[in-house]
Structure 1
């Protein structure tokens, strides 16, 4: 028989996540959230199972389904499985301490958790788990037949669909629950409440009351708690409550004008509303610092560039950075440590679905006001960039934002050429994106050596606006005292604009002066370049003096700021 550690390592090596349970328990948790903390990390697994005698939870879903056969109330489930085994592939089977069975199968489609699809048979699928081999209850162990896990065939898939003619018996109409039915009644009742998203405390309290008032005789308190722990193994659903003011329906103009409708509260006054927002900015303009400053303002309820903010938690989804760079940025900005700004990092190429992510986070009872996705390109589901496809995609995020009353901020790319008169046209993609967005923000430099940023704002029921920002030594932004940069050297401006356009230059200083018709010669250009070396770096331009040859000493200028799309 495998030990808990051996079982855990075997499943982890096959990309199945595992986690520890308390010794002698099927449901008592050690972790804060097994769904979030279950892992395939070998080092972490060895810490969990090398020293403590923990039981092991095997996560189902993501290609793994388990048929859970119970024998506590009757042998009907066991008999049904035995009658079907000739049609099922030989697979890995674990016998439980109570005499039941777990039949493991690899699956190529989503399988939901389902309770009592047949008499004494449950299905563990997406977001579920089973207790693994090597675990024990009251000295009795989970043991296996040591076979590999087989892929499900069509007979298995048909079995997983359940008995379509089987009707669930009524469980709330009975006034008296006798011995033999008590466990099943309380378990079904608990699963029903769990499926409706009720709080854990409420479920336990209800089971306790039902046990005392209906079960004859009542079960012991420990047994009720065991039933409750089993119930928690199933996924808790979210009940989305309708808006106080429904957005759909049929109204006359008089009804609409007479009805007192509450305005949808802004997340940031005249800037962000519930729904979906696009934030476009070129590379190296400080968009990550801008986003972190926005998140910090919402989290702490601080004004954002003089605009009132709806305070609440913020979720930042980082697809292009790691935690070390974020830690450095936050410290440099002087952000105060808090528990309400949550940053999640994702590996390159990791599968991601925003709707699922939002549901998982709200299941933790955190009422987010904004979710910032950096960057939008990393979560795109379709490669199509036509109007219809992009409008359909952005409309899904719009509905998601309205449903949860939050602003979903999608950080996106801009085209390389930005027309200051039409900055919103620079957002990369079709007009389907901007047409479907509730708010659009574009941050850019008016020219390549500008020290300021222009933030243009447009949206539904939001007045058009433009703010001139300057980045401080802490890399945070503040409103600039003057609208445009002053005293920019005309010669330097010509050089920077030329290199940004041509990408590189190698030659003498005099040749460049002649080509650009600069009003300086000789040592004037080298002195100007050395004096403004930091400004060149800010413009993503490197300046290098090349080794002397028989001819005039050459220099090399190179632009490094192109953003690959």
Structure 2
């Protein structure tokens, strides 16, 4: 069985709000706007899906358990299963992910800064994630990436806690292992046959291309749709 992952950011056409504290769901919907696609994660949190408008990746917005997952990552959707459990649709479906999603409202903006001046609230998490993403393929293993993360973290005026540094490095290394680490200049492209184009409607075509792009980083290897997704497309 294969999981289904979609790219965050302009490549996948999606911006995802990752809510790790379920009590923050209503606050996020009120702040960022309603979306027709809401999923529940195996950990009990929620993902809100919006159309990408070039949002950047921001972790722990305002110190809360809220991540804005724009460029630079990917996310699992229902039809996927991890050791912790399954992803479930609360509202919407896979088809809606390829539809005309709304843009986010009131997108938070990180305060500008350079590492030597950055403190809590200045976007240290995002800054460290982006720096590691650029250097990760030069590291031979996760331990080397964590060591680099600790070095970069010490450049902040107010360093992040060691546990947070390890978490960020682990997240980046996971992308490396899954061969899904995308950096500037590695945009995915694909070819689609005329019979396949004729077979799909607009929403299905957009979702099909999104799935194809998500797997392009794996050397264009064939991928498998979960049974539920296949039924959705009548396959």
Per the normalisation by structure 2, the TM-score is: 0.50
In our comparison, the structure showing a higher alpha carbon Rg is: 1
Q: Which has the bigger relative contact order, CA under 8 A and spacing at least 6? A: 2
